[in-house]
Structure 1
Amino acid sequence: MPRVLIGPTKTDIHNNEYGKSYNLLNNLYDDNFTVDIYTRSVSDTLRPENVTVYPLGGSNRISFYSYLYYRLLRELREGSVDIYHHMNLSYRWFNPILVSELHDNVPVVVGPCQTGHAIMAEEFNRMLSSWVGRNLPRPFTDPLHTIVDATRDVILDPPRMDLFKRTLDAADRIVVVDQEAYEMYADLVDESKLRTIPLGVDPDVFEYSEPDDSHELVAIGSLRERKGYDILIEALDQIQQEYPEVQLHVFGDGPQEDELVAQVKHLDLDENVTFHGYVDQSIVREHLSRARAFVHPSRSEGFSMVRLEAMSTGCPVVVTNVSGANEMVRDGEEGFVVPTEEPEPIADAVTTLLSDYELTKQISRQARDRVEEKYDWRKIAEEYLDLYRSLSG
């Protein structure tokens, strides 16, 4: 029976609606394959009988990845692996086993690969501070910041890109999530290696419900500059002039929260905006199920899972034209696709939905149909199994 070895996945696999690894792996039902996965930790034991997860632990990412690649290399060298799958390779990241060509001619799958998103300078510094604080002793933090700031573009990025390219060169198949990712990776590797398989959503978790005839809007995500909430609040200022009872519910937290709260107060929108912070996903789903629209005002985005989750519940979406948006959401059918950085088109799209309940219901049903047709995790897992079959034959 062919054996698929997967690792790394995302650092942890947990039973939550945002766990891409969890949702894909939990649908790899096939009695003709065994699937073994190495990850850092796991909190859930429900998975197909042919799938086994091995949590490796590790006090931080450095220790985890060091031990992970040691275990993977040992497995590959023992000769019991028929397909090796590096899951969720980040853009400009690398796999030392593949770079060093130590995988002994085992067929290699890399992906799902996304375009990623631009990281604003201040956001990068916050991310670096967080990572350094968790993984390195304090005396190293200030010098590392200084070195990274001075050398990132000129010294650090070229070798990272080289290692990334060498990782891709070692792959037999590279899975990309949408057409934009396909075009990006086609500039790096032979197109014959590429296979497009999107990410998905569990329609049984994000159940369909016809939206209420309400004036409730929902936004979900971390509160940071690239998510564009400042633009959404400007748009809401225009919307409430026509619909003073409109309510925006924001779910998520992050470094821009104080700034956004101040913006709401400055525009006198305190009665129209509620910041819920991080809450249980059941509460988010409840709001999505009755909202008139989900608004996603990002300046930059990878493949957006939250768009799919809103569509699965039947919530019409208003999204900015960032990576993959036009492919996932057909403008005027499952929602509206608007330019980035512009509050007025967001306001126009939302008021169109608020003014026409019959249109809202039509778009709601079309959004759910789109998910069932193209983005159901069960169908996506079957595409991965087909890919494994093609490589194991």
Structure 2
Amino acid sequence: MKICMVLEFFIPHYNGGGEHRYHEIAKRLVQQGHTVDLLTMKILNIPEYEDVDGINVHHIGPTIKKAPYRSATDFIQYFFAVTRWLLKHDYDVIDAQAYSPLLSSRIAARIKKTPLIGTIHDTSSNSNDQWIQSSKIANTMEKFLVNLNFDKILTVSHATKNSLINDFAVNSDKILMLYNGVDIAKYDAVHIDGVLKNNIIFVGRLAPHKHVDHLINSVNIIQEKIPDIKLTIVGKGEEKDKLIQMVNKLELEKNIKFKQDLTDEELITEIKKSELLVLPSTREGFGMVLAEANCCYKPVITYASGGTVEVVENGYNGFLIEPENIEDLTQKILETLENKELNQKLGQNGRKKVEKDFDWEKIVNQYINVLCNVIL
């Protein structure tokens, strides 16, 4: 098959969950003999064509100076660039990621009569939690985009699927659910000297809905009982400066450090060196980092939000906390750090769950079946 994937950014220039999903799927498709073209925005000082693990990555449209920051003009330019590209090239199937690539892909796919899959990782829950932060038109745009006439919609969790049906009136017959996965072999190949006692980690975009400030508040409380507690915050985003100021104000510089732009090996090392991972996010289509931590035999603590409830079984491989309940979040972090037997048990159970439900090798074979059914 000749497949085109359309998204705004791609690794290594932006390392979001959706970008990693496409990378893991696309490189395995190439290994099985398929051809994959991937369209993404231009990045300053990056060639317009890259070969990433055999994937043909084409940077088109506007030039972005610093991903993921882009303007309304950038969206418009990318819309026309994607449309022109798809009209000039032939594919067996197109897979477009929410949100901005959806409309241009739909228009071109209809003209060319090419099967189209829309991949939607998560949905917005309210006016303060939109994919276009603080935009009044975001909810209207989202309702329009998710209801375009796709041949199939792929989601990464039952929570997103249910939201599309109940909140956005999407036809349930068009929706298929395919989990995100973990490259188990890659994680197992990274070895460390030992685990750092009382070290916890957050990995993700530093956006308001991730609520890293809640985690910082928890650490501030816990350090009164565990003075040597350490938190590593891995990521970047619009909240970073504010979070650094918060750490300085609370005088937690010795307890909390920030890192970003890590290689895969460096990130895996940071996770393995920690005792647990915490994700206090109120909006997650899946929560890939939870499965990645479990793959490393690490327990996880997260707000019960969206797809996190499908990755974490409360009390089995980690803990689910009522969203924005900082008191319970703090208590579970403390309990998991102090009870080493519990910590080990949760981590071992997490690894079992990853091997059962979140192995990329199994997921990609399911994805190929989806493509074949759409094409036929």
> Which residue pairs with 2:177 in the alignment?
196
Instruction: Sort the Cα spacing of 1:166 and 1:362 in 2 relative to 1 into closer, same or farther, 3 A.
Output: closer
**Shift of residue 359 of structure 1?**
1.5
1:20 paired to 2:28? no
Quote the residue 1:74 is aligned against.
Answer: 88
For residue 331 of structure 1, report the CA deviation from its aligned partner: 0.7
CA deviations over 1:161-213 (Å, ceiling 9, x no partner) = 5641552xx22221111111111222433222111101222122223879837
SS at match of 1:214: coil
In the TM superposition, what is the alpha-carbon distance from 1:71 to its structure 2 partner? Answer: 2.3
Contact 1:9/1:38, CA 8 A, preserved across alignment? yes
The letter of the residue matching 2:106 is L
Q: Is 1:11 matched up with 2:18?
A: no
1:283 aligns with 2:304: no
* CA shift for structure 1 position 34: 4.6
Deviation track 1:109-167 (CA, whole Å, cap 9, x = no partner) reads 2214422576748996xx69xxxxxxxxxxxxxxxxxxxx7xx34xx754x35641552
Residue in 1 aligned with 2:44?
none
Query: Take 2:282 and 2:103, find their aligned partners in 1: how far apart are those partners?
Result: 30
User: Relative to 1, partners in 2 of residues 1:322 and 1:162: Cα closer, same or farther, differing over 3 Å?
Assistant: closer
CA distance in 2, matches of 1:383, 1:338: 31
CA contact (8 A) 1:294 1:317 kept: yes
2-structure distance, mates of 1:120, 1:189: 22
Question: Offset at 1:307?
Answer: 2.0
Tell me if 1:185 matches 2:188.
no
- 8 Å CA contact 1:333–1:367 kept in 2: the answer is yes
- Does 1:89 pair with 2:89? no
Report the structure number with the largest CA radius of gyration: 1
Structure 2 counterpart of 1:46: 53
Select 1:247's aligned residue among 208, 227, 230: 230
Deviation at residue 12 of structure 1 after TM alignment? 3.4
1:72 to 1:109, Cα distance in 2 relative to 1, 3 A: same
Moved more, 200-209 or 98-107: 98-107
CA offsets, 1:1-56, max 9 Å, x none? xx343242343354986532211101115767554444455544423xxxx62525
C-alpha deviation, 1:93, in angstroms: 6.8
Q: What pairs up with 1:311-326 in 2 under 5 angstroms?
A: 311-326=294-309
Quote how far apart the aligned CAs of 1:312 are. Answer: 1.7
| Gap runs ≥5 in structure 2 | 42-47, 64-73
CA separation in 1, counterparts of 2:200 and 2:263?
Answer: 18
Structure 2 matches for 1:78-227, cutoff 5 A? 81-82=91-92, 84-90=93-99, 94-96=102-104, 98-99=106-107, 102-116=110-124, 120=128, 152-153=136-137, 158=140, 160-161=141-142, 163-167=144-148, 170-187=149-166, 188-207=169-188, 212=195, 214-227=197-210
Residue 368 of structure 1: how far off its partner (Å) = 1.7
TM-score normalised by L of structure 1:
0.77
Higher relative contact order (CA 8 A, sep 6+): 1
| Residue 345, structure 1, aligned to residue 328, structure 2 | yes
Which residue of 263, 270, 295 maps to 2:253?
270
Give 1:232 shift.
1.2
Superposed CA deviations along residues 85-105 of structure 1, whole A, max 9, x for unmatched, are 233122x87424535873454
Determine the C-alpha separation between the residues in 2 that align with 1:13 and 1:107: 25
- Post-superposition offset of 1:217: 0.9
**TM-score under structure 2 normalisation?**
0.80
The 3-state SS of whatever aligns with 2:224 is: helix
Question: Structure 1 unaligned runs (5+)?
Answer: 129-148
Alpha-carbon contact 1:13-1:39 (below 8 Å) kept: no
Rate the CA distance shift 1:73–1:220 in 2: closer, same or farther, 3 A: same
CA separation of 1:202 and 1:267: change in aligned 2, threshold 3 A: same
CA distance in 2, matches of 1:42, 1:330: 42
Output the CA distance in 1 between the equivalents of 2:264 and 2:50: 17
The letter for the 2-side match of 1:57 is: I
Match of 2:354 in 1: 371
Alignment of 1:55-66 (within 5 A): 55-60=58-63, 61=74, 62-66=76-80
Q: 2 CA distance for matches of 1:110 and 1:75?
A: 19
Q: Distance in 2 between matches of 1:102 and 1:119?
A: 32
Percent of matched pairs sharing the same residue: 20
Query: How far apart are residue 257 of structure 1 and its match?
Result: 3.5
